[in-house]
């Protein structure tokens, strides 16, 4: 079931509980035809803000996922939970320390059928996530392919997330990554601020994630859904 469901994801909107959005906009995103609404962010993520967004999204039939970044903000009631595992982090918390703490607290309560681990490769040095996790971003293509192989072939994680948060990545690199990945689904997020970029990255990534554009140009963000489904 899980692999099949992941394969159905071509497009997702990522809502940051720490950024302003209206209930009407959430409604439109839910009814846009996107494959899922992902709720998560890096800084200032609280239980209350996350729960508020979930309440708004839950009024519609959209699939809703929480990407967990703070143990204090895990909210029950999502369809699925995505757990980031940042493979190029140099701060060990983001490799397995936080996960160990989480499982010490909640290990017995977790329904593992609802959980997917994302092998993150963080590539934009300027992003909050790179700074927080102290990710090693001075990488050439061969370095990135090695990280992709760790996620895909060594750890066999369901998701390889190529994260450029706030900047547009190199599509040629995505093409090379697609060529070597065998079983992980490739998520791409970062700097998609036009229809052309959304279509371009969809050629190589199984799933594209639209974040900032929701807050910068809502109407344009909405248009990325239709165009992806025509790729
Ligand atoms: C962020 O990958 C997502 O985690 C989306 O990136 O905000 O740059 O669209 P943007």
Average pLDDT over residues 171-175: 98
pLDDT of residue 226: 81
Q: Give the pLDDT band (50/70/90) at residue 8.
A: very high
pLDDT of residue 231: 57
Is residue 142 packed enough to be buried (19+ CB in 10 Å), middle (13-18) or exposed (0-12)? exposed
Q: Give the pLDDT band (50/70/90) at residue 229.
A: low
pLDDT of residue 195: 95
Residue 43: pLDDT above 60?
yes
pLDDT of residue 147: 98
pLDDT of residue 4: 81
Write the residue with the smallest CA distance to atom 4 of ligand 1: 165
Q: Which domains does the chain have, with CATH numbers?
A: 3-229 (3.20.20.390)
Secondary structure (H, E, C), 58-98:
CCCCCCEEEECCCHHHCCCCCCEEEEEEECCECCHHHCCHH
* Radius of gyration, CA atoms only, the chain: 16
Residue 164: pLDDT above 60?
yes
pTM, 2 dp = 0.95
Q: Is the CB of 119 under 6 A from ligand 1?
A: no
pLDDT of residue 166: 96
Q: Is the CB of 197 under 6 A from ligand 1?
A: no
Q: State how far the Cα of 105 lies from the Cα of 171, in Å rounded to an integer.
A: 40
Q: Is the CB of 163 under 6 A from ligand 1?
A: yes
């Amino acid at each position: 079931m899980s692999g099949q469901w992941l394969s159905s994801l071509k497009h997702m909107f990522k809502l940051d509980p720490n950024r302003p959005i209206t209930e009407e906009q959430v409604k439109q995103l839910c009814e846009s035809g996107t494959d899922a609404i992902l709720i998560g962010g890096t800084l200032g993520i609280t239980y209350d803000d996350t729960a508020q967004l979930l309440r708004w999204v839950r009024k519609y039939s959209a699939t809703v996922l929480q990407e967990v970044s703070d143990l204090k903000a895990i909210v029950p009631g999502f369809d699925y939970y995505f757990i980031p595992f940042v493979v190029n982090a140099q701060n060990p918390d983001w490799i397995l320390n936080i996960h160990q703490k989480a499982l010490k607290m909640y290990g017995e309560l977790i329904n593992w059928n609802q959980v997917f681990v994302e092998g993150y490769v963080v590539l934009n040095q300027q992003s909050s996530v790179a700074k927080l996790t102290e990710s090693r971003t001075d990488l050439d293509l061969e370095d990135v392919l090695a990280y992709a192989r760790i996620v895909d072939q060594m750890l066999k994680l369901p998701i390889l997330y190529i994260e450029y948060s706030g900047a547009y990545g190199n599509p040629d690199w995505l093409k090379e990554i697609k060529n070597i990945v065998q079983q992980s689904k490739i998520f791409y997020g970062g700097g998609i601020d036009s229809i052309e970029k959304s279509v371009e990255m969809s050629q190589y990534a199984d799933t594209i994630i639209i974040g900032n554009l929701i807050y910068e140009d809502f109407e344009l963000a909405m248009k990325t859904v239709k165009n992806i489904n025509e790729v």
